[in-house]
């Protein structure tokens, strides 16, 4: 919360259509206050999606967090070592999917 306040997150997100947050591993620990859930709670009703290297949470786990969807790089490349070695192309494909899923008509 302190960092979000210092960064002026509330003002920055005010007119946003979507907030994208990220984490290396989105897991049960994330539900206990890691950054993506904090960002989602601070988004003030703006839809939030999370991008992670690995995600072990289900859509049901995300209910109530403020995160409407999670995208994992391991969904595209199951080998975590390969994800870490070449994340750029995986992030580009994930960004395209997020745009299609959340911002396109």
Tens-place pLDDT, residues 73-102: 999 999 999 999 999 999 999 999 999 999
Q: Are strands 67-72 and 19-26 parallel, antiparallel or unpaired?
A: unpaired
- Spatial separation of the C-alpha atoms in residues 74 and 47, rounded to whole Å: 23
Note the pLDDT tens digit of each residue in 10-62: 899 989 999 999 999 999 999 988 899 999 999 989 999 999 999 999 999 99
For the chain, what are the domain ranges? 2-102
What local confidence, expressed as pLDDT, does residue 90 receive? 97
pLDDT band at 105 (very low <50, low <70, confident <90, very high): low
């Amino acid at each position: 919360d302190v960092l979000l306040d210092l960064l002026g997150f509330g003002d920055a997100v005010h007119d946003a259509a979507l907030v994208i947050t990220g984490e290396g591993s989105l897991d049960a620990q994330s539900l206990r206050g890691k950054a993506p859930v904090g960002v989602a709670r601070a988004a003030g009703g703006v839809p939030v999606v999370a991008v992670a290297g690995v995600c072990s949470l289900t859509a049901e786990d995300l209910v109530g967090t403020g995160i409407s969807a999670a995208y994992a790089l391991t969904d595209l490349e199951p080998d975590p070592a390969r994800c870490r070695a070449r994340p750029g192309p995986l992030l580009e494909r994930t960004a395209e999917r997020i745009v299609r899923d959340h911002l396109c008509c």
